[in-house]
């Protein structure tokens, strides 16, 4: 793999959307945090910014200006959340001027995240991320195969919950 310093060498965990540095890169490429990182926790390679703009793919799909969203979501400190009534750091709703706390925002926009298993062979995780589709993981590492199957079931259930809770992705005050 040859990298030109644009982050094309970064290793993506396809299940989480998080990129990790590749220790073999001579340019020491690092991922860029999404401007909404405090709610999405995502990052991306430099060449994505040049191609897709400032947001990670998830934030662009949820809050992008192309669908009348705000894109980069502003925050305000010491505001009262209309959902949990806590006074804390709050983030703007994507389609209106109202604010909710980070925890409530994450629950509404990203759905309930179920407990996920740890990768069974931490010493092999970078190698696995670099080539997740390699048949050797199924043949030589049955625990990785079980991990993948369990994770697939968890992700399916998270998707079901996300669809069932579509009403939560509207502002609790103005319903936009």
pLDDT in tens, 87-118: 999 999 888 889 999 999 988 887 777 888 88
Report the chain's terminal Cα–Cα distance, integer Å.
46
User: Whole-number mean pLDDT of the chain?
Assistant: 86
Helix extents (H) in 80-168: 102-110, 125-130, 136-140, 142-164
pLDDT in tens, 13-46: 876 778 888 888 889 899 999 999 999 889 999 8
Q: How do the domains of the chain map onto residue ranges?
A: 1-71
Percentage of the chain surpassing pLDDT 70?
Answer: 98
Does residue 6 have a pLDDT over 60?
yes
d(CA 47, CA 18): 15
- Taking alpha carbons only, the member of 41, 53, 69, 51 closest to residue 6 is 51
User: pTM here?
Assistant: 0.69
Instruction: Give 79's pLDDT tier (boundaries 50, 70, 90).
Output: very high
Sheet holding 99-101, edge to edge: 75-80, 87-92, 99-101
Residues with Cβ within 8 Å of residue 49, at least 6 apart in sequence: 32
């Amino acid at each position: 793999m040859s990298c030109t310093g644009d982050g094309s060498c970064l290793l993506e965990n396809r299940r989480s959307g998080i990129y990790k540095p590749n220790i073999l890169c001579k340019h020491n490429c690092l991922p860029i945090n999404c401007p909404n990182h405090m709610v999405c926790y995502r990052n991306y390679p430099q060449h994505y910014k040049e191609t897709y703009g400032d947001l990670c793919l998830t934030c662009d799909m949820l809050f992008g200006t192309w669908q009348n969203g705000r894109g980069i979501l502003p925050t305000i400190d010491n505001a009262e959340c209309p959902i949990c009534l806590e006074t804390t750091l709050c983030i703007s709703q994507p389609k209106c001027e109202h604010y909710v706390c980070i925890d409530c925002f994450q629950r509404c926009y990203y759905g309930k995240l179920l407990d996920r298993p740890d990768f069974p062979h931490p010493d092999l995780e970078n190698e696995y991320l670099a080539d997740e589709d390699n048949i050797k993981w199924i043949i030589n590492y049955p625990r990785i195969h079980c991990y993948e199957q369990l994770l697939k079931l968890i992700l399916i259930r998270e998707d079901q919950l996300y669809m069932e809770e579509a009403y939560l992705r509207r502002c609790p005050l103005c319903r936009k």
